């Protein structure tokens, strides 16, 4: 599958001239590209698709979607991890 997964931006930095960040997906932290959302800030929620932040999302909707993904067993599958509490 290729779902857009919501997560909270916890860090923003530049890498090789590209705006990057670390995003927390309900305990799973991944590095993502933030280049498409120059307005996004630490603490904001965003939808991530194949490693790219593609839209900003409000916190309530992000939590609802993450809960649904967990309930369906899709979160770890979409993020490519075996353990629910795994940080990269």
3-state secondary structure string across 42-85: CCCEEEEECCEEEEEECHHHHHHHHHHHHHHCCHHHHHCCCCCC
Domain contains 62: yes
Query: Do residues 58 and 66 lie in contact, with contact meaning Cβ atoms separated by under 8 Å?
Result: no
Give 34 or 62, the one with higher predicted confidence. Answer: 34
Domain contains 66: yes
| pLDDT cut 70: percent of the chain above it | 81
pLDDT digits (tens, 9 = 90+) for 20-61: 999 998 888 999 999 999 999 999 999 998 899 999 999 999
Q: What pLDDT band is residue 86 in, cutting at 50, 70 and 90?
A: very low
Domain contains 14: yes
Query: Do residues 51 and 32 lie in contact, with contact meaning Cβ atoms separated by under 8 Å?
Result: yes
**Domains identified in the chain, total number:** 1
CATH number for the domain harbouring residue 34: 2.30.30.140
Enclosing domain of residue 27: 5-78
Domain contains 88: no
Domain contains 35: yes
- Residue of 23, 17, 81 lying closest to 49 (CA atoms): 23
Domain contains 67: yes
């Amino acid at each position: 599958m290729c779902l857009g997964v919501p997560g909270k931006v916890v860090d923003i930095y530049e890498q090789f001239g590209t705006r990057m960040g670390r995003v927390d997906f309900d305990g799973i932290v991944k590095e993502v590209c933030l280049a498409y959302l120059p307005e996004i800030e630490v603490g904001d929620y965003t939808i991530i698709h194949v490693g790219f932040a593609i839209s900003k999302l409000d916190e309530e909707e992000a939590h609802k979607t993450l809960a649904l993904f967990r309930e369906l067993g899709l979160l770890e599958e979409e993020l490519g991890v075996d353990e629910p509490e795994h940080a990269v």
